Chain A
Amino acid sequence: MHPSVKRLRSDPAHRFPLPFYWVLFVAVAVSLLLVATSGFCAQALKTATFLPQWRPQAQFAGFYTAYEKGLYRKYGIDVTVLRGGPDRPAGAALAARQADFVTLFLSEAVQVRDKGVRLINIGQLMQRSGFLLVAKAGSGIAAPRDLQGRKVSLWTSFQVQPLAFFRKYGIAVKPVVQGETVNLFLRGGVDAASAMWYNEYYTILNSGLNEEDLTTFFLDRHGLNFPEDGIYVLEETFRRDRALCDAFVRASLEGWQYAFDRPEEALDIVMAYVRKANVATNRPHQRWMLARMRDLIGPKDPSVPMGVLPRQDFLTVAEELHRAGLTGGVPSYGEFYVFGPAKP
Chain B
Amino acid sequence: MSLAPRSPESGSERTPRGSPQDKRANDVQDPFPGDRRFSGELQSRLGGGLAFKLALFILTSTAVIYLVAFLYSYVTLRKEILADVKKDALGVTMVTLGKIDNVLGGIEKVAAFLARDLSGEGRTAAVMIRQMEGLLQANPEIFGVAVAFEPRAFDGRSRYYAPYIHRGPEGLKRILIGGAEYDYFTKDWYQIPRELDRSLWSEPYVHEGEGGDLVATFSVPFYRTAAGERGLAGIVRVDVSLDWLQDIVSRLMPQRQGYSFLISRNGVFVTHPRKEFIMRESVFSLADATQDEELRRIGRHMVWAGKDFVPLTGSAFGRDSWMFYAPLPSIGWSIGLVFPEAELFGNIFELNRVILMIGGVGFLVLLIVIVVISGTITRPLRTLTEKAAEIARGNLDVALPEIRSRDEVGELSRSFENMKGALKEYISNLAETTAAKERIESELKIARAIQMSFLPKKFPPFPERREMDIYATLIPAREVGGDLYDFFLLDGDHLFFSIGDVSGKGVPAALFMAVTKTLMKGMADRDLAPSALLEAVNGELCRENETSMFVTIFCGVLDLKSGRLSCTAAGHPAPLLIRAGKDPEPLVIGQGFLLGALEGVTYRTTEIVLAPGDNLLLYTDGVTEAQNGNREFYGEARLRRVAAVHAAGGTASLVDAVVADVRSFAGDAPQYDDITLLSVVYQGADGDSRRRDR
* Chain B residues whose C-beta falls within 8 Å of the C-beta of A183 in the assembled complex: 188, 192, 202-203, 266
Say yes or no for B275: interface residue by CB 8 A criterion. no
* Chain B residues whose C-beta falls within 8 Å of the C-beta of A284 in the assembled complex: 285, 288-289
Smallest Cβ-Cβ distance to B277: which chain A residue: A282
Say yes or no for A179: interface residue by CB 8 A criterion. yes
Whether the Cβ atoms of B195 and A206 lie closer than 8 Å is no
- In the bound assembly, the distance between CA atoms of A288 and B284 in angstroms comes to 13
Q: If A189-B195, A283-B289 touch, does A208 touch B187 (CB 8 Å cutoff)?
A: no
Whether the Cβ atoms of A176 and B280 lie closer than 8 Å is no
CB distance from A273 to the nearest CB of B (A): 15
Smallest Cβ-Cβ distance to B332: which chain A residue: A187
- In the bound assembly, the distance between CA atoms of A188 and B332 in angstroms comes to 14
- In the bound assembly, the distance between CA atoms of A181 and B299 in angstroms comes to 21
Provide the A202-229 mask, 1 if CB < 8 A to any CB of B, else 0: 0001111010000000000000000000
Q: If A280-B280, A282-B280, A285-B285 touch, does A208 touch B188 (CB 8 Å cutoff)?
A: no
Say yes or no for A186: interface residue by CB 8 A criterion. yes
- In the bound assembly, the distance between CA atoms of A181 and B304 in angstroms comes to 20
Q: If A184-B195, A188-B196 touch, does A208 touch B285 (CB 8 Å cutoff)?
A: no
Whether the Cβ atoms of A208 and B192 lie closer than 8 Å is no
* Chain A residues whose C-beta falls within 8 Å of the C-beta of B202 in the assembled complex: 183
Smallest Cβ-Cβ distance to A179: which chain B residue: B186
* Chain B residues whose C-beta falls within 8 Å of the C-beta of A181 in the assembled complex: 188, 203
Whether the Cβ atoms of B186 and A207 lie closer than 8 Å is no
Say yes or no for A292: interface residue by CB 8 A criterion. no
Candidates A184, A205, A207, A208; contact of B191 at CB < 8 Å: A184
* Chain A residues whose C-beta falls within 8 Å of the C-beta of B285 in the assembled complex: 206, 282, 284-285
Whether the Cβ atoms of B186 and A178 lie closer than 8 Å is yes
* Chain B residues whose C-beta falls within 8 Å of the C-beta of A34 in the assembled complex: none
Whether the Cβ atoms of B289 and A208 lie closer than 8 Å is no
Provide the A160-181 mask, 1 if CB < 8 A to any CB of B, else 0: 0000000000000000111111
- In the bound assembly, the distance between CA atoms of A269 and B289 in angstroms comes to 17
Smallest Cβ-Cβ distance to B186: which chain A residue: A179
- In the bound assembly, the distance between CA atoms of A255 and B662 in angstroms comes to 132
CB distance from A275 to the nearest CB of B (A): 9
Whether the Cβ atoms of A281 and B280 lie closer than 8 Å is yes
- In the bound assembly, the distance between CA atoms of A178 and B279 in angstroms comes to 21
Interface of A is mostly: loop
- In the bound assembly, the distance between CA atoms of A285 and B279 in angstroms comes to 13
Candidates A177, A187, A280, A288; contact of B200 at CB < 8 Å: A187
Say yes or no for B303: interface residue by CB 8 A criterion. yes
* Chain B residues whose C-beta falls within 8 Å of the C-beta of A176 in the assembled complex: 191, 195
Say yes or no for B300: interface residue by CB 8 A criterion. yes
Whether the Cβ atoms of A179 and B191 lie closer than 8 Å is yes
Whether the Cβ atoms of B192 and A189 lie closer than 8 Å is yes
CB distance from A154 to the nearest CB of B (A): 11
Chain B contacts with A in 169-212, Cβ cutoff 8 A: 185-188, 191-192, 194-196, 200, 202-203, 206
* Chain A residues whose C-beta falls within 8 Å of the C-beta of B284 in the assembled complex: 205-208
Candidates A179, A186, A207, A283; contact of B282 at CB < 8 Å: A207
Say yes or no for B267: interface residue by CB 8 A criterion. yes
Smallest Cβ-Cβ distance to B302: which chain A residue: A208
- In the bound assembly, the distance between CA atoms of A151 and B195 in angstroms comes to 9
- In the bound assembly, the distance between CA atoms of A206 and B287 in angstroms comes to 9
CB distance from A60 to the nearest CB of B (A): 19
Whether the Cβ atoms of A208 and B203 lie closer than 8 Å is no
Provide the B278-316 mask, 1 if CB < 8 A to any CB of A, else 0: 011110110011000000100110011000000000000
From B200, B281, B288, residue with most partner A Cβ within 10 Å: B288
Candidates A208, A210, A281, A282; contact of B267 at CB < 8 Å: A208
CB distance from A229 to the nearest CB of B (A): 24
Say yes or no for A190: interface residue by CB 8 A criterion. yes
Chain B contacts with A in 104-126, Cβ cutoff 8 A: none
CB distance from A270 to the nearest CB of B (A): 14
* Chain A residues whose C-beta falls within 8 Å of the C-beta of B203 in the assembled complex: 181, 183
Provide the A22-55 mask, 1 if CB < 8 A to any CB of B, else 0: 0000000000000000000000000000000000
- In the bound assembly, the distance between CA atoms of A178 and B185 in angstroms comes to 10
Smallest Cβ-Cβ distance to A213: which chain B residue: B300
CB distance from A150 to the nearest CB of B (A): 12
* Chain B residues whose C-beta falls within 8 Å of the C-beta of A187 in the assembled complex: 192, 196, 200, 265
Smallest Cβ-Cβ distance to B264: which chain A residue: A207
From B186, B196, B206, B279, residue with most partner A Cβ within 10 Å: B186
CB distance from A286 to the nearest CB of B (A): 10
Whether the Cβ atoms of A184 and B192 lie closer than 8 Å is yes
- In the bound assembly, the distance between CA atoms of A176 and B279 in angstroms comes to 27
Chain A contacts with B in 245-281, Cβ cutoff 8 A: 280-281
CB distance from B425 to the nearest CB of A (A): 97
Whether the Cβ atoms of B188 and A179 lie closer than 8 Å is yes
Q: If A186-B266, A282-B285 touch, does A208 touch B303 (CB 8 Å cutoff)?
A: yes
Smallest Cβ-Cβ distance to A151: which chain B residue: B195
Q: If A183-B266, A280-B279, A282-B280 touch, does A207 touch B188 (CB 8 Å cutoff)?
A: no
- In the bound assembly, the distance between CA atoms of A189 and B196 in angstroms comes to 5
- In the bound assembly, the distance between CA atoms of A180 and B289 in angstroms comes to 25
CB distance from A73 to the nearest CB of B (A): 33
Whether the Cβ atoms of B191 and A189 lie closer than 8 Å is yes
- In the bound assembly, the distance between CA atoms of A151 and B303 in angstroms comes to 24
* Chain A residues whose C-beta falls within 8 Å of the C-beta of B185 in the assembled complex: 177
* Chain A residues whose C-beta falls within 8 Å of the C-beta of B296 in the assembled complex: 208
Whether the Cβ atoms of B195 and A190 lie closer than 8 Å is yes
Smallest Cβ-Cβ distance to A189: which chain B residue: B195
* Chain B residues whose C-beta falls within 8 Å of the C-beta of A205 in the assembled complex: 284
Whether the Cβ atoms of B195 and A179 lie closer than 8 Å is no
CB distance from A139 to the nearest CB of B (A): 14
CB distance from A211 to the nearest CB of B (A): 12
- In the bound assembly, the distance between CA atoms of A300 and B334 in angstroms comes to 44
* Chain B residues whose C-beta falls within 8 Å of the C-beta of A190 in the assembled complex: 195
Smallest Cβ-Cβ distance to B197: which chain A residue: A189
* Chain A residues whose C-beta falls within 8 Å of the C-beta of B300 in the assembled complex: 208, 210
Smallest Cβ-Cβ distance to B299: which chain A residue: A208
* Chain A residues whose C-beta falls within 8 Å of the C-beta of B195 in the assembled complex: 151, 176, 184, 189-190
- In the bound assembly, the distance between CA atoms of A189 and B267 in angstroms comes to 19
Whether the Cβ atoms of B288 and A207 lie closer than 8 Å is no
- In the bound assembly, the distance between CA atoms of A207 and B284 in angstroms comes to 7
Smallest Cβ-Cβ distance to A204: which chain B residue: B266
* Chain B residues whose C-beta falls within 8 Å of the C-beta of A281 in the assembled complex: 280
CB distance from B653 to the nearest CB of A (A): 131
- In the bound assembly, the distance between CA atoms of A210 and B180 in angstroms comes to 37
From B187, B203, B285, residue with most partner A Cβ within 10 Å: B285
CB distance from B584 to the nearest CB of A (A): 133
Whether the Cβ atoms of B266 and A208 lie closer than 8 Å is yes
Whether the Cβ atoms of A282 and B281 lie closer than 8 Å is yes
- In the bound assembly, the distance between CA atoms of A178 and B289 in angstroms comes to 29
- In the bound assembly, the distance between CA atoms of A176 and B192 in angstroms comes to 11
Whether the Cβ atoms of A207 and B196 lie closer than 8 Å is no
Whether the Cβ atoms of A177 and B186 lie closer than 8 Å is yes
CB distance from B213 to the nearest CB of A (A): 15
- In the bound assembly, the distance between CA atoms of A282 and B203 in angstroms comes to 17
Smallest Cβ-Cβ distance to B288: which chain A residue: A284
- In the bound assembly, the distance between CA atoms of A94 and B303 in angstroms comes to 44
Whether the Cβ atoms of A206 and B187 lie closer than 8 Å is no
Q: Provide 29 A-B residue pairs closer than 8 Å at the C-beta atoms, listed in order of the A residue.
A: A176-B195, A177-B185, A177-B186, A179-B186, A180-B186, A181-B188, A181-B203, A184-B188, A184-B192, A187-B192, A187-B196, A189-B191, A189-B196, A190-B195, A206-B267, A206-B284, A207-B266, A207-B267, A207-B282, A208-B296, A208-B299, A208-B303, A208-B304, A280-B280, A282-B281, A282-B285, A284-B285, A285-B285, A288-B288
Closest 9 CB pairs of A and B: A189-B195, A179-B186, A207-B266, A284-B288, A208-B300, A206-B284, A284-B285, A284-B289, A208-B303
Beyond A180-B187, A187-B192, A208-B303: 8 further Cβ-contacts under 8 Å?
A177-B186, A181-B203, A187-B196, A189-B195, A205-B284, A206-B285, A207-B303, A208-B304
Chain B positions within 8 Å of A, measured between CB atoms, are 185-188, 191-192, 194-196, 200, 202-203, 206, 265-267, 279-282, 284-285, 288-289, 296, 299-300, 303-304
